[in-house]
């Protein structure tokens, strides 16, 4: 006779039911938790899509700023993306190895380096931007266009 085992909570209840059940807790009323959860789920979805280009959200973020025309320094990238400078160096190294960006001396301060996109970088960014837009759309399907606009407005106001 095979011993009977009790199924775990995860086996009894699908993940969605668990999310719905936990959505009524105090934690689910805390704005920073909700923002972090949205960022985590959004990043995970974007990372899945960006994987086809060999990128992650961090690469995309650095590449997007490089292609912005603002000529960001490595320090500015670190501050804006809230990443450690060593992480920025690693990401730039990877993008540079792919031929997507290059470091140049900052004409405003010769001690600093700015990040400049290459033609290949602009092309890669265009592809990645389309994937991120699709991922964003998929992540926010529950919101109307007006609600998305309001969410973006409020996020910009709070984050910048």
34-59: pLDDT as tens digits: 999 999 999 999 999 999 999 999 99
What digits encode the pLDDT tens for the residues 53-112?
Answer: 999 999 999 999 999 999 999 999 999 999 999 999 999 999 999 999 999 999 999 999
CA distance 70 to 81: 15
Q: In the beta sheet, which residues pair with residue 116? A: 102
Q: What is the CATH number of domain 53-128?
A: 1.10.10.10
CA distance 119 to 99: 9
**Confidence (pTM):** 0.84
Q: Which residues contact 54 (CB under 8 A, 6 or more apart)?
A: 98
CB 117 within 8 Å of CB 100: yes
């Amino acid at each position: 006779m095979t011993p009977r085992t009790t199924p775990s909570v995860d086996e009894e209840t699908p993940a969605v039911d668990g999310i719905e059940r936990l959505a009524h807790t105090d934690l689910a009323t805390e704005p920073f938790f909700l923002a972090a959860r949205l960022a985590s789920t959004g990043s995970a979805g974007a990372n899945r899509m960006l994987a086809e280009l060999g990128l992650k959200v961090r690469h995309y973020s650095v590449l997007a700023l490089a292609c912005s025309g603002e000529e960001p320094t490595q320090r500015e990238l670190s501050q804006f993306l809230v990443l450690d400078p060593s992480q920025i160096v690693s990401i730039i190294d990877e993008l540079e190895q792919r031929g997507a960006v290059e470091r140049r001396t900052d004409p405003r301060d010769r001690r600093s380096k700015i990040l400049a996109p290459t033609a290949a970088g602009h092309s890669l960014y265009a592809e990645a931007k389309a994937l991120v837009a699709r991922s964003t759309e998929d992540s926010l399907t529950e919101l109307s266009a007006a609600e998305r606009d309001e969410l973006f407005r409020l996020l910009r106001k709070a984050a910048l």
